[in-house]
A and B are shown apart, each in its own frame.
Chain A
C-alpha cells in the first residue's frame, strides 16, 4: 500500500470558478442558440467535433463540418471545455498520433478552459471498444500511465484533466485503492483531476468501498472540475453509469461533501441518453448551484 503524500507542486494552472455547466448535446443546439440560457459554460465531447477519417485522411484536424459550425456559434457566448472519450491513456497500445493531432488543432481553435479525458483504457491491439474500462491499480500501471500523460501534455502543449470512471470489474493484481492511484498519477504526471462524483458513488457501491474515503484520498489542489450524472440501479443493487436519469439523492449528498472538501470548483451536469428538454438540465444545474451556495455561502458572479 502506498503512503499518500501531500507533496504536490503547483505547475498545474489555476482556473476561475465558472459555476455549474451543462454537457452540450446536439438535441439542444436549437434551444441554446435561440434562447441563450443563463448557463455559465458548456462541456463538449471532443470526438464529436472532429472530422471523419474519410473527410480528413491526413488527420490535419480540419474543422468537423456542421457540428463544428454549431460549436463555433455557441462558444461565441459561452466558455467551453473539451472532454474526450478515446484518449485510451491506460492501454498498452501506442498513443494515437492521428487522434492527438486532431485534438490539438481542436483545442487550439476552440480555446477550451480545460481538455479532459478518462483514466481508463478504451481499446487494445488497434480495436476501439468505445467504453471506459478500468485499469489495474499497480505500480507498473501507474508508471505506464504517468509516462503517457506526460507525452499527451507535451503534444498538446497544455495540462490535461483525467476523470475517474465508473467501474464494474476490479483486478486481483491491484496494489492500491483507486484514489491513491489517481492522487499519485496527478502528482507524478502533473495533471489535474476531473472528479466525477457520480462515478465515485457508482464504483463505491459496486466494489464495496466508502465513497467519503475516496474523496479524502484525492488531493484538494489537483481537482479542477467535477461531474454529476444519474445512474441506473439493477435488481441486485449493482449500479450502471447510464447518464440517463436525474442526479440521485446519495450523489447530491456526496457532491455536498465534495464541495466542502474541494471548494469552488466548476461542476457539470452530464446527460447522454434519453436526453430531456434543456430546461430539465437547467433545473439540475440550479440544484447543484444551490448546494454550492449552501456550503460555500457565496454565489458565482
Chain B
C-alpha cells in the first residue's frame, strides 16, 4: 500500500503504469497490484478512490510543508513548477524521518541539478539559505556569556582563548545576493531576480536572537574570524592569520570592536 500512496504523480499512475517509472526507482514499485485486494470494497467510494484520499493527503501535506520551509524558492519558481519539483524530489527522497521538518534536508542539493530550474541559477543557494534559516530556528541556545569570566584574563590568556559560539550561528558564503531576495520574500510587487552573481562572494551571518533568525551580509574579515573561532582556533592564531590580510590598511585590526558586537548580539556564549 505504501508505494501506491506515495506515488507523487497520483494513484492512477501507480496502479496502472508502474513500468513507466524511472528504472532507477524500480525497487520502490515491485509490489503487485493484486495486494490491494486486502482493501474492503464498500459504497460510496471504490477502493481506488479510498486509497486516493491517502495518496492526495500524502503529497499535498509534504508539498505544503516544503512550501512553508522554502517560501522564497516557492515564490520564485511559481506554483506549477514547485509542484513538479516536489513530485520529483519525493520520488528520489521520500521522507525517512518522523519529523516532517527533516524532509527539506536534501532539497537544496536536489534542485541544484534539477533541469527545469536551470533558468534560476541562484536557486540552490537560496534554498540552502532557507534551509539554514530553518535549522537555525530549531537550534537551542547555549546559556548567555558570563561577562565576569573574561574580565581578568591576561594578554597571554586572551591569545590562547577559544570562543564558544552560540549553536544557532551559521556562516555561509554565496555567489548570488540571495539574502536580499529572502528579505523581500513577502513584498507584494514581483520579486526582482538577480541576473548575474556578485563579483566576489557574499559572506552571510545567520543567528537567532530572542525573536527570530537574523540574516546579514558581513565584511569578509570579521566573517572569516568568526569562521575560524567557530572551528576552535584560539584567538591569537585567528588574529595572526587575519593580520596578514589586513596589513595593507593603516589602522589596527579592529578585533575589540568586532568582539563587542558579537557579545552584544549573543554570538559568543563562552570563552575557554
Contacts and interface: CB of A to CB of B under 8 A. Distances in A.
Interface of A: 47, 50-55, 62-68, 86, 88, 96, 99, 122-131, 133, 136, 168-174, 207-208, 236-238, 240
Contact of A65 (B58, B100, B105, B140): B140
Contact of B135 (A47, A54, A130, A171): A54
B100 A47 contact: yes
Interface in B69-125: 94-102, 105
A126 B28 CA distance: 12
B6 interface: yes
Interface of B: 1-2, 5-6, 37-40, 42, 44-45, 47, 50-51, 53-54, 57-58, 61-62, 65, 94-102, 105, 134-140, 167-168, 208, 212
B135 to A, nearest CB: 5
B63 to A, nearest CB: 11
Contacts of A51: 138-140
Contact of B99 (A53, A68, A129, A170): A53
A174 B38 CA distance: 10
Contacts of B45: 168, 236, 238
20 contacts: A47-B101, A54-B102, A54-B135, A55-B135, A55-B167, A86-B99, A99-B98, A123-B2, A126-B96, A127-B2, A131-B57, A133-B54, A169-B47, A169-B50, A169-B51, A172-B39, A174-B40, A207-B40, A236-B45, A240-B53
Contact of A169 (B39, B134, B135, B137): B39
Given A127-B95, A130-B61, A52 B138 contact: yes
A68 B134 CA distance: 14
Most chain-B CB neighbours within 10 Å: which of A86, A88, A129, A174? A129
A124 B6 CA distance: 11
A172 B99 contact: no
A235 B95 CA distance: 32
B140 A124 contact: no
A96 B97 CA distance: 10
B37 A172 contact: yes
A231 to B, nearest CB: 12
Nearest to B39: A169
Contacts of B40: 169-172, 174, 207
B58 A131 contact: yes
A67 B208 CA distance: 12
Given A52-B134, A64-B138, A238-B44, A168 B101 contact: no
A132 to B, nearest CB: 9
